[in-house]
Amino acid sequence: MGAIVRSLVYQRRWRLKDFSCERAESIARALGCSAPLARVLAARAPDTPTELLDDNIEHIHSPWELRGIREAVLRIDRALRQGEKIFIQGDFDVDGITSTALLYKALRALGAQGVKVDLSDRERGHGLSDAVIRRLKDEGFSLLITADCGISEHEFIAHLQEHGIDVIVSDHHHPPAQLPPAYAIINPKQPHCPYPNKDLAAVGVAFQVVRALYEYRGLPTQASEEFLDLVLLGTVGDLVPLVRDGQAENKRLVAQGLRRIAQGQTCLGLRVLIEKLSLDPQRLTTGEVSYILVPKFNAANRVGDPRDAFMLLVTALPSKAEALAAKLLAYNQDRQIAQDDLLYQAEEQLRSQPTWQNEKLIFLAGRYWNPGLIGLVASDLAEKYYRPTVLVSIEDEFSRASCRSIPGFDIIAALERHSELFERYGGHSMAAGFSIRTEKLPIVRERLCAYAREVLRDLGDPVHELETELAPEEITLETYTDLLRLAPFGMGHPTPRFLLRAAQIIEARTVGNGSQHLKLRVAVGGKEFSAIGFSLGEFAYEVERAGTVGLAFKLGCDTWTGRPQVQLEIEDILEPSA
């Protein structure tokens, strides 16, 4: 690996990625691209560089590669032909909501009349419940389709199958050792599933189910593409990797969703919400989806009712869309206030623990903390302190927890190691949750902290990656434009960050409300560049005093003067020896 460079202003280290210079030169010749883009491709996808530049929807995998898809399609088709009552059970986060909305809209478009929907909520927890099981039997449903849940519901599904209600599991979570006895299971992570992309979000799984169903019924391939705006929202919202090991199917799906929104081909409710947030649909980015749109949908399940978010995505009535969008915005305001308060409580509790800095895992618990917010606060703390973090809402008999992790610590593996303690648990390597008898909390705290001490014994300051060093003559608008061919960016495929060595500080000043941002003018190799460091204003004096620094930065474009100019968007100030 490349040499380590330390930050001047944060407890953070940076490392240049390794790549083959020969391979980068070969890619540049073959694709006719800039040298910086070729080096990024050589580092990220040396064997499949064109995969990262290809957003053609026709190049996503065939849905028929999913194990169980044929059985699922035939069963749904029979239910449609025979007019059976179909029930969709979805999870309450944005991935579950979009998955449910996609399946509901597709089945209604195919003529299904008796489709009913239920979403989990924070009170009942993820997945199926006794109340849902009773409703299915009492109201005569013969087919249940899950959306973003079901893979761990062995007992409930066995009961339904025994009572003549077929269950199709559409999920993407890590499967247990014993799969539920469903009529069909669609999950790319299940054993013996040949589908190449194991990182599909639940909405991606639902989309592939609908693609296969539409194809089986003789509809054109393009018919299912009307749902790509939902696929975008759920995929970005669930933080699944857009790219892994040079394979970019999720990136392709997200790109197509953004394209449809730019073309005005999105559902009414999402269009209304975008307008209310003053976002430009023609220039919408994954960052805006992730940090502006997704929180509004998740706010419904955290402090309100997730059914409002679902209804916004399926309504065809403008007045209803307006009212529901306004409701989501109000939920989000409530969420922000409550989250700030909970974060304050959590940090106060953390500071009251005299030895917390010696631990490799943060474990905090509070009486009746909002279960819908503990995941957000756990994420804040994990990022701030670079520790896996578990936050628990203590209740009388059973308590609920949300866990967030850091690279190098698989949180779901940690829970699996101690699975006998939990009533229920599930999640991914970076985010998970569990419910537990309240009297067992001291035991689980002790065991998880001990496990973290073992796994993270050599944990130091976080190490972030830089793609490559840029020479001064490579810092141009042409390079910036060429790098945009890699978009959209997101989880597993971040905006490239570069190294500029020995930048001489010509000017350092603060700008923005409260002088919170740092504006620099730097010189290197006989060229001068403008640079902006958002939220770095407090370090202006240190930077000016240093005189010469290294910069970790993204390439940006400043259009403030009306004439586009290349600009360095500073991520960090590095040691002068960088």
pLDDT digits (tens, 9 = 90+) for 170-196: 999 989 889 999 999 999 999 999 999
Give mean pLDDT, residues 285-311.
95
Q: Is residue 124 within 8 Å of 131, Cβ to Cβ?
A: yes
* Among 498, 551, 497, 542, residue whose Cα is nearest residue 523: 551
Q: How many whole angstroms separate alpha carbon 575 and alpha carbon 471?
A: 18
Give mean pLDDT, residues 14-36.
96
For residue 234, give both structure tokens.
């759920």
Q: Is residue 171 within 8 Å of 149, Cβ to Cβ?
A: yes
Q: How many whole angstroms separate alpha carbon 124 and alpha carbon 72?
A: 27
Q: How many whole angstroms separate alpha carbon 88 and alpha carbon 128?
A: 11
Question: Minimum mean pLDDT among 27-41, 66-80, 549-563: which range?
Answer: 549-563
Dump pLDDT digits (tens) for 438-474: 999 999 999 999 999 999 987 777 889 999 999 999 9
Query: Given pLDDT bands bounded at 50, 70 and 90, which one contains residue 127?
Result: confident
Q: How many whole angstroms separate alpha carbon 16 and alpha carbon 297?
A: 37
Please say if the pLDDT value at position 482 is more than 90.
yes
Helix, strand or coil, per DSSP, at residue 90: strand
In the chain, pLDDT over 90 holds for what percent of residues? Answer: 86
Q: How many whole angstroms separate alpha carbon 293 and alpha carbon 144?
A: 30
Dump pLDDT digits (tens) for 148-157: 999 989 999 9
pTM for this predicted structure: 0.91
Query: Given pLDDT bands bounded at 50, 70 and 90, which one contains residue 125?
Result: low
Helix, strand or coil, per DSSP, at residue 193: coil
* Among 192, 93, 185, residue whose Cα is nearest residue 428: 93
Q: What pLDDT does residue 354 have?
A: 86
In the chain, pLDDT over 70 holds for what percent of residues? Answer: 99
DSSP-derived secondary structure letter, 161: H
Please say if the pLDDT value at position 123 is more than 80.
no
- Host H or E run for residue 510: strand 498-511
Dump pLDDT digits (tens) for 355-377: 888 899 999 999 989 998 999 99
Give mean pLDDT, residues 538-559.
93
- Host H or E run for residue 73: helix 69-82
